Structure 1
């Protein structure tokens, strides 16, 4: 038997975007549910950089101190070519910009946002996946699979897809993926290094082959 419930806004995806949306909705007194197909936060850094404007938004939400306490201020970048130091880039912003750049692993940002949502009694429904939806003139009916293997239908005024590059919501609406993509392949790893580096500086290292 399919269980049915209702809410104002259904959010698919509990990454930083979905969590921020849920936090802003709850601050405004709007009821919402947020689901994510993964059983837990991923323990990998993934997206690390926090832009000054992002920190301004967190300030408006009353979260910036929690974020900055967990983050590392970014002051610049050291560049290496074939293992040789080539220069240093300083991140300098106009004095009227209240916050600088910062680095915080994505799981750290998600933790702060999840704890903030908990103050409103809103929990992330993990291991819960949006598998289908249908919209009409009055709202949206979403079909979810639950951790127990069952199904649930949720009626909402709005459905927001924060479910990443392979978004079911975007595909279901027939929307194209706007923008471009880099032709290169990238690898991201979390490693510990024994280098002695000035605090707050990222490292950009490239290798150039012989002509």
Structure 2
């Protein structure tokens, strides 16, 4: 049973989500302000944090920023409907995904399960034996078993979503991966028209990994199509 921390100051909405998610088989804890959310997230072994942007005492952004300094706990941000700025900022700070509120609880469950599947991929890869435990390309080495990445001999911390995006791009290195294909494989959902998630995850990867040894861009954008991990 996955243990989830729900951080939202809307008590009525939280009670409804707790009831719904509990019936879906999740163990739910709750925090109604940012300070409590951060302290609980750092002190307990949760599998996922559902984090509202608008929180008293400490905003969801501040919680996420501080959390990422200490933990890679998967985070699903809840943002105001239609507020692209909130979703972009959340992804830049290291959120695994975002969902506009109010949204259907069924959609929320689908997003939760997609994130948890990415986190659980470690065990699946170790038991499946179909994919190599290590991928090495130029100055980058990815260990799929431990879900760790080393670039230029330096370890690189990544969220579960960033790891999944990079994993796919590395396996397809030298070939263009369409955004639609990448969304379904890495995020577990079809690409919607205004979804900026992939763009932000790729942007985060570029910042963390830097250029290739010859100076060229590591992950290139093929306008109107998708992305390609370059080979030197």
Band of TM-score, shorter chain: under 0.3
TM superposition score normalised by structure 1: 0.26
Bigger Rg over Cα? 1
TM superposition score normalised by structure 2: 0.24
Higher relative contact order by CA 8 Å / sep ≥ 6: 1 or 2?
1
Instruction: Flag the structure with higher helix content.
Output: 2
Instruction: Flag the structure with higher strand content.
Output: 1
